Structure 1
């Protein structure tokens, strides 16, 4: 007759779950307080330096964008001035008068067309 070996089950082992290893890589390591303080100071200094560099980059980016906006505003003003000039010329042409400066413009365009041919 065959028999099975009986295992004694400890109720404490079932409640606690599997045994944990004490030498795991996570968690705090004992005896590293002085090294941790030095590391923390270095980490804080690196963080401060990184923040300084970030603020400097941000300042440069805003300066660049402000210059870009100023250049675009100048271009818009120049185009508006040119548009007003052409609107005045159109009104004068509609009235049957030759506006000042149109002859120069036509000569310029004519010279450009002659050079292209």
Structure 2
């Protein structure tokens, strides 16, 4: 009888265990490695561009918020001196620079209710 064994319905032959060495062309393997490196560099470049754009947009938002904060500080300083800035008066009276169409519809609605 030969040295093969039956395991799970399959015939196994004695010999070395594990993977057989792959007979891949060395040049093809090297080219795949180069291509992979090129793709990796391209992804890295795109990632850095995205992050730079993100930082730039966040910096613009910070500048806008600082300007708004400065405006509020000026309003507070003026109010501490007893002056009411015109912007605050407009907010309190509801006259915040709306387009003329919305104010005309407002007056027509008010006249219909009277």
Q: Secondary structure at the match of 1:59?
A: helix
Q: Does the alignment pair 1:94 with 2:73?
A: no
Aligned length: 83
Q: Please give the alpha-carbon distance, in whole angstroms, between the structure 2 residues aligned to 1:80 and 1:54.
A: 39
Pairing partner for 1:78 from 35, 47, 64: 64
Q: Secondary structure at the match of 2:33?
A: helix
Q: Report how far residue 25 of structure 1 moved.
A: 5.7
Q: Please give the alpha-carbon distance, in whole angstroms, between the structure 1 residues aligned to 2:82 and 2:31.
A: 77
Matches within 5 A, 1:11-22: none
Q: Report how far residue 81 of structure 1 moved.
A: 0.1
Q: Please give the alpha-carbon distance, in whole angstroms, between the structure 1 residues aligned to 2:87 and 2:33.
A: 63
Q: Does the alignment pair 1:56 with 2:46?
A: no
Runs of 4+ residues deviating >4 angstroms: none
Q: Please give the alpha-carbon distance, in whole angstroms, between the structure 2 residues aligned to 1:73 and 1:84.
A: 16
Unaligned residue ranges in structure 2 (runs of 5+): 1-14, 97-114
- In proportion to residue count, which structure has more strand? 2
Unaligned residue ranges in structure 1 (runs of 5+): 1-22, 110-117
Q: Deviations over 1:70-116 (max 9, x none)?
A: 0000000000000000000000001100113222333278xxxxxxx
Q: Please give the alpha-carbon distance, in whole angstroms, between the structure 1 residues aligned to 2:95 and 2:33.
A: 62
Structure with larger Rg: 1
Q: Please give the alpha-carbon distance, in whole angstroms, between the structure 2 residues aligned to 1:40 and 1:108.
A: 78
